[in-house]
Amino acid sequence: MVEQRETKHGIEDAGLIASEIAAAVTEALAHDAPGAAADLVRTLKAPDVADVIEQLAPDNRVALIQALGTSFDYEVLSELDETVRDQLSEALPNDLLARAVTELDTDDAAYVIESLEESDKQEILAQLPSGDREALERALDYPEDSAGRLMQADFVAVAPYWTVGNVIDHMRDSDDLPDEFNEIFVVDPAFRVLGSVELSRLLRTKRDVAVSEIMNTDRHMVLATEDQEALARQFQRYDLMSAPVVDANNRLVGVVTVDDVVEVIQDEAEEDMKALAGVGDESLADSVLETVRSRVPWLIVNLGTAILSSSVIAHFDATIQQMVALAVLMPIVASMGGNAGTQTMTVTVRALATNKLGRVNAPRVVAREAFVGVANGLILSIILGTVVFFWFGSSKLGAVIGAAMVFNAIAAALAGILIPLAMDALDLDPAPASGVFVTTVTDIVGFFAFLGLASIWLL
């Protein structure tokens, strides 16, 4: 059995040895010892069990969960990678999924069954208590990646005329309260939010004080249909710990907490990072076919732009034949331009994603990037021109490549910001496509400037 190791910081995070545990689980299952496999993960916390399950083969994932039996923590399902969770939801029996959905918060329960066939989904919903079923069906009706999908349907709401004593007695006597909550919402008879009271303030107030006297009326509310990325920005901007979710009629339907938003921020950042590399929303658990489908479209586009760049070189084939040094130095100009363009593009795409770059400040930022391109180009041209002079003994060749470097650095800076801005203005996602087009611009400008100047000055 793999044991947790003691370090100077305490017990080592089980996630660091997930691969070792996964290997041990695989070996135990291969030797037909499901009990031993279950013992390896039984004492781990839900996120750590999820790490182990993600590394197992699909058949072994189901076998491990079945071996755990009633000791399986359904919270593990909410911690899994989306692709793995969807695969498990298809493989696990519906009665087990029904028990999991009953135990999980509404948002996590929706994630577990959202990808199932409609017949399986209805079979699971039919096994739930009426209250849980209605809350889950309401969550599934909201658009994917919206606040309605992210919210928890369980919350505590009271009338403004209740006293602190009434609220405390209600919380002690009621059996259907959320397991954990930090604030209580104050609503009118139509369930519109009037304010909220934090538990810490409630417990410090005398029993005969009305809730309306201590509630916070400056509540930040979000629509159930609001995109989760916009919701995450609001949590970040206003330092929110939770926010009430309302429907189109401003009636309270749920609450979003910061722990759910942290996952959204992480997922959105990962999505942007993958998109910048021309990779879709793929996972290590995807099949070969799914991975190819995700990656090959932009590779085909990139192939086309590479052919376009090569056509510029073909235009100067006679020039290159007369001076072989041009072929040696040509990739340097294109490569440095591509790197400079990627720097600008990355900053621009992230600024657009966080709404920090818009119509008002765009001209100023574009001008700044242009000046940065000039400065970078001059610095690099001096360095590269000096290297070329000592390498090939030609001051003219050093001047040519230096001038080409300046032109390409300016083009890279402008392409790195203008291409994402243009795509955003056309309501297109700038993250996945900008890299291909920016690289194309820097390749073409770099080759054309270097070879064009060389044909004029050197030959």
Mean pLDDT of the chain: 86
Has residue 275 been placed in a domain?
no
Has residue 263 been placed in a domain?
no
Confidence of residue 14 (pLDDT cuts 50, 70, 90): very low
Same domain, 235 and 325: no
Same domain, 162 and 116: no
Same domain, 124 and 209: no
Share of the chain above pLDDT 70, in %: 94
Range of the domain at 403: 288-457
Task: Note the pLDDT of residue 383.
Answer: 94
Task: Note the pLDDT of residue 71.
Answer: 92
Q: In terms of pLDDT, which residue wins out, 17 or 406?
A: 406
Q: For 440-450, what is the mean pLDDT?
A: 90
Report the CATH number at residue 47.
Answer: 1.25.60.10
Same domain, 249 and 170: yes
Same domain, 226 and 315: no
Confidence of residue 8 (pLDDT cuts 50, 70, 90): very low
Task: Note the pLDDT of residue 276.
Answer: 65
Same domain, 191 and 165: yes
Residue-wise pLDDT tens digits, 264-310 = 887 777 777 766 666 666 666 677 787 777 777 777 877 887 888 88
Q: For 434-451, what is the mean pLDDT?
A: 88
Same domain, 345 and 251: no
Would you say residue 415 has pLDDT above 90? yes
Has residue 282 been placed in a domain?
no
Confidence of residue 208 (pLDDT cuts 50, 70, 90): very high
Same domain, 240 and 322: no
Q: Which of 57-61, 248-252, 400-404, 429-433 has the lowest mean pLDDT?
A: 429-433
Has residue 368 been placed in a domain?
yes
Report the CATH number at residue 376.
Answer: 1.10.357.20
Report the CATH number at residue 212.
Answer: 3.10.580.10
Single residue among 144, 166, 190 that ends a domain in this structure: 144
Task: Note the pLDDT of residue 311.
Answer: 84
Same domain, 127 and 172: no
Would you say residue 156 has pLDDT above 50? yes
Has residue 273 been placed in a domain?
no
Same domain, 135 and 199: no
Has residue 101 been placed in a domain?
yes
Confidence of residue 378 (pLDDT cuts 50, 70, 90): very high
Has residue 173 been placed in a domain?
yes
Same domain, 61 and 166: no
Would you say residue 2 has pLDDT above 70? no
Q: For 347-360, what is the mean pLDDT?
A: 85
Has residue 304 been placed in a domain?
yes
Domain count, the chain: 3
How many angstroms separate the CA atoms of 269 and 280, rounded? Answer: 13
Q: For 203-221, what is the mean pLDDT?
A: 92
Task: Note the pLDDT of residue 4.
Answer: 43
Task: Note the pLDDT of residue 310.
Answer: 83
Q: Which of 188-192, 240-244, 266-270 has the lowest mean pLDDT?
A: 266-270
Task: Note the pLDDT of residue 37.
Answer: 93
Q: In terms of pLDDT, which residue wins out, 14 or 141?
A: 141
Q: For 409-433, what is the mean pLDDT?
A: 89
Same domain, 293 and 441: yes
pTM of the model: 0.69
